[in-house]
């Protein structure tokens, strides 16, 4: 099940229709429900509000909430965040991608469920698109969809879905640089990637060149990936890249 889900909403009715059912589902699962921001109306019950969270301390706060909830006997934590109330609106698209990917990794490692609600009137369409690219799944009208999704898997693995191409490669580059731990092996699973063009290929090569201690393992790439990689000589110039599957 997805534990980090993005929503793009505007009206309260959209919010009620798209977000609340998934939030309420947590109650049935025995999870502690936490809201940051206005969220559901004040007459709604069954959740607690957290006023502490800010962009810079979110990961630590999430881990603390999960530990506290488990101590209190809950099976987990489900967080609904109104992102504009987290101080997210001034962030650039690059910062949004970096933030959401870091949050995605935290959600994955601590076993929480995170529902990120972006209000369309509070964010530029490009900002919404950047934020949604760091969620495996999203709901609502994302008019400037970047065309790819990147989200964390087990260990150092990151999954990529969709298409990487000239039009979104700058965002992909940002995502990679946000995900990378420069002293380890970065694993990119491309099993759900439909398409990757030469700009995308070059971005992978540049990433490895940027981090001398980084190794990259590309798993299950599209058919043309391996052929391109060899034909264009990347297998010689990028020996720290391993292609599997």
Partner 1 sequence: MSVQHEAYLYRDLAEFVAAAQPFVEQGVAADETVLVAVRAPQIDALRSVLACPDDVVFADMVELGRNPTRIIATWREFIRHNVEAGRGVRGIGEPIWPGRGAAELLECQRNEALLNVAFADGPTWRLMCPYNVTTLPPAVIEEALASHPIIAMDGVRTPNDRYQPGLDRLDGPLPVPPPGAVEVAFTVAGLPALRDVVVTMASRANLRPDRAAELLLAVHEVAVNSIQHGGGEGLLRAWLDQDTVVCEVTDRGWAPDPLTGRERPPAAARHGRGLWLANEWCDLVQWRSWTTGTCVRLHMARRGPG
Residues near partner 1 (CB under 8 A): 147, 163, 165-167, 195, 197-199, 202, 222-224, 227-228, 231-234, 236-237
Contact 241, 216 (CB under 8 A): yes
**Cβ at position 244, least distance to partner 1 in Å:** 19
Q: Which is nearer to partner 1, 22 or 228 (CB)?
A: 228
**Cβ at position 227, least distance to partner 1 in Å:** 8
Contact 99, 6 (CB under 8 A): no
**Cβ at position 164, least distance to partner 1 in Å:** 11
Q: Which is nearer to partner 1, 52 or 230 (CB)?
A: 230
**Cβ at position 60, least distance to partner 1 in Å:** 39
**Cβ at position 195, least distance to partner 1 in Å:** 7
> Residues 204, 210, 213, 216: what is their CA dihedral angle, to the nearest 10 degrees?
-10
Structure tokens at 40: 């559901």
What order do you get walking across the sheet with 185-196 strand by strand? 148-152, 157-164, 185-196, 215-219, 241-244
Q: Which is nearer to partner 1, 66 or 201 (CB)?
A: 201
Q: Which is nearer to partner 1, 7 or 234 (CB)?
A: 234
Q: Which is nearer to partner 1, 8 or 169 (CB)?
A: 169
> Residues 165, 221, 156, 134: what is their CA dihedral angle, to the nearest 10 degrees?
30
**Angstrom distances, CA of residue 87 to CA of 53, 54, 181:** 10, 7, 26
């Amino acid at each position: 099940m997805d534990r980090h889900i993005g929503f793009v909403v505007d009206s309260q009715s959209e919010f009620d229709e798209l977000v609340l059912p998934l939030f309420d589902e947590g109650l049935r699962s025995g999870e502690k429900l936490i809201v940051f921001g206005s969220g559901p109306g004040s007459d709604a019950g069954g959740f607690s509000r957290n006023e502490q969270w800010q962009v810079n301390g979110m990961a630590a706060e999430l881990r603390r909430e999960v530990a506290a909830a488990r101590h209190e006997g809950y099976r987990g934590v489900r967080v609904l965040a109104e992102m504009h109330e987290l101080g997210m609106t001034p962030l650039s698209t690059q910062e949004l991608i970096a933030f959401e990917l870091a949050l995605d990794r935290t959600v994955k490692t601590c076993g929480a469920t995170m529902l990120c609600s972006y209000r369309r009137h509070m964010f530029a369409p490009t900002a919404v698109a950047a934020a949604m690219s760091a969620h495996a799944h999203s709901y609502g009208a994302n008019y400037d969809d970047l065309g790819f999704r990147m989200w964390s898997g087990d260990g150092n693995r990151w999954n990529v879905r969709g298409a990487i191409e000239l039009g979104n490669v700058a965002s992909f580059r940002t995502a990679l640089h946000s995900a990378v731990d420069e002293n380890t092996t970065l694993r990119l699973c491309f099993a759900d990637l439909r398409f990757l063009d030469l700009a995308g290929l070059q971005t992978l090569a540049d990433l490895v060149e940027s981090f001398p201690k980084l190794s990259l393992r590309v798993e299950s790439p599209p058919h043309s990936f391996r052929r391109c990689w060899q034909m264009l000589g990347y297998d010689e110039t990028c020996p720290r890249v391993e292609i599997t599957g």
